[in-house]
A and B are shown apart, each in its own frame.
Chain A
Amino acid sequence: MLLPTVLYFLIFEYKPMYGAIIAFKNFNPYLGITDSPWVGFKNFEKFFESYYFLRLLRNTFLMSFYSLIFIFPASLAFALLLNELRLKKLKSFLQTVSYLPHFISLIVICGMIIDFTKPGGIINSLLLGIGLISEPIQFLILPEWFRTIYVGSGMWQSLGWNSIIYLAALSGINPSLYEAAVVDGAGRWKQLMNITLPGILPTVLILLILNVGTLLNVGWDKIILLYNPGTYVTADVISTFVYRRGVMEANYSFSAAVGLFNSVINFTLLVLANRISRKTTESSLW
């Protein structure tokens, strides 16, 4: 019964892991993975020495770091505020509305971003209307705006969805704790600090570990749809670089090396974050 699923993992997950050894080879499609000649770390050296290395590393790291420090706490805050809401109907309406963006396709989201940020788009109209700027800004052409757009739209997409897990954790807190606190004369703030936050701390930590573990894993999807050679300076990240070099230019070995570098760093970060968390608190992934 288990066989088809195990086969799936072997063929589509583990075989590519084996295939990653082409990073250490000079891959030739005619010879195949096994027969292509070994070149050791040459592809990695080429990447580390290239002018792109630092730029890609910086962009990748900054993009996910900003997402982490803005979206992560905002989702938590959103969940806490929702939890304090006493109007049940409004609460469920808000939840429904906040998950919606999660189900809209990325192409549509990017289409909306492109349209909203162009010179005649609603964002420019709004900013001009309230007198914050005197002429339209070409947001997507200017590299300095790219990260803001990336993180801002990311927040819109995932804020509600991310908050689900906190709301689930919040609903798991025993209500009698609050009743006892009220009897003891604790106000809302005290209840938050002494009951609510400690109650969801394990969940928060687990999510934090997972986030740190994917710190170099900025998705290519949104970036590929939004960037252009003019914004590569701030927008190009490791995965988009791998896509361009590998899929578009058929530079297989080199881009496999770049991709492998990314996977290894991520995995190491995850293991480290997990270990630190297990030592300092009691939560860990394994």
Chain B
Amino acid sequence: MVVKRSMGEIIFDSCNVLFLILCSFLFLYPMWYVLVSSFSDAHAIAAGKVSFFPIGFNLDAYKLVFEDERVWTAYGNTFFYVIVGTLINLVLTTLGAYPLSRKNLEGRNIIMAFIVFTMFFSGGLIPAYLNVRELGLYDTRWSLLLPGAVSAFNLIVMRTFFQSIPDSLIESAKIDGAHDFRILLRIVLPLSMPVLAVMTLFYAVGHWNSWFSAMIYLQDRNLFPLQLILREILIQSSAQNMLAGVTQDEVFRISESIKFATIIIATVPILMIYPFLQKYFVKGVMIGALKE
């Protein structure tokens, strides 16, 4: 349908495009600045000379970060938490969502209400903290894997998706003699790839970025995830610790860009998987937005 646009509409459209381009600049620029600074000379950063392109290009900051053992241990830990944690999340969420999506499950509304209630009310930080201590999870890797293993919201999203799978498909598999686990693995999950992709993204990003539970539950530095080390470097400004044995001027020359380099190494993996899963998650949020 071709409709002639009036003068007013043309003006509006142009302003809109300009405004939105400005917005995208605002979203991107901080990250661009970090990237550019990580390659720049710290004196130039401190003097405010760096804005669009690196000044005094060098890779010293990256070299130092990668030589630091803390960073490597923490990187390994984070990978462990992301992989094992996400697996636990996916298994538990699926095991909850699938039975609850079947209409023949008795009492499913009650169980649903019991799960949804936790989205709106909780015992609070202190009882949760004491609970973890009481269960003997304090200062173990489990303290980051088990609490929060199921998100009620994600469970609802998944259940809604499962409900859209035709009952007749499941019925016919049953007649062929398949039991519930087989149906779930062979029929339901292969049909649910988009929602599984979204869940994987949500949970994995959550584990990758999480730090608060690590801060309150972990004492042993060998278990620390990357984010806690980042916190020491970025927030508590202990970048200098990486520079033992270097002169004062060297310390200054590099500590600024170390911050930016650590931001980059901590963010790049997430940003790398993001484009692959992006098309799925909009769908995921949409499913979540629909009410039953």
Contact = CB atoms under 8 A, between A and B. Distances in A.
Contacts of A182: 1, 3
Contact of A17 (B123, B135, B155, B285): B123
A120 B235 contact: no
B28 interface: yes
B271 interface: yes
A263 B124 contact: yes
A108 interface: yes
B12 interface: yes
Interface stretch (B162-170, B189-197, B241-249, B259-267): B259-267
A92 to B, nearest CB: 10
B234 A9 contact: no
A86 interface: yes
B251 interface: no
B105 to A, nearest CB: 8
Contacts of A19: 123, 127-128, 130-131
Interface size classification for chain B: 35 or more
Interface string A204-218: 001000000100000
A96 B127 contact: no
Contacts of A247: 125-126, 129, 216
Interface in B117-167: 118, 120-131, 134-135, 146-150, 155
Contacts of A100: 27-28, 31, 271, 274
B123 to A, nearest CB: 3
B27 A156 contact: yes
Contact of B125 (A160, A167, A246): A246
Nearest to B12: A188
Nearest to A99: B278
A259 interface: yes
B27 A104 contact: no
B59 interface: no
Given A87-B17, A156-B27, A262-B124, A105 B93 contact: no
Contacts of A105: 208-209, 211, 227, 230, 266-267, 270
Closest 10 CB pairs of A and B: A259-B124, A111-B234, A5-B96, A19-B127, A16-B123, A105-B209, A16-B127, A20-B123, A168-B286, A125-B48
30 contacts: A1-B95, A1-B99, A2-B99, A9-B150, A13-B118, A13-B123, A17-B121, A19-B123, A78-B23, A85-B16, A86-B13, A93-B24, A96-B278, A97-B28, A98-B24, A99-B278, A103-B209, A104-B31, A106-B211, A107-B231, A107-B235, A112-B30, A120-B47, A156-B30, A169-B289, A182-B3, A242-B126, A252-B126, A263-B122, A263-B124
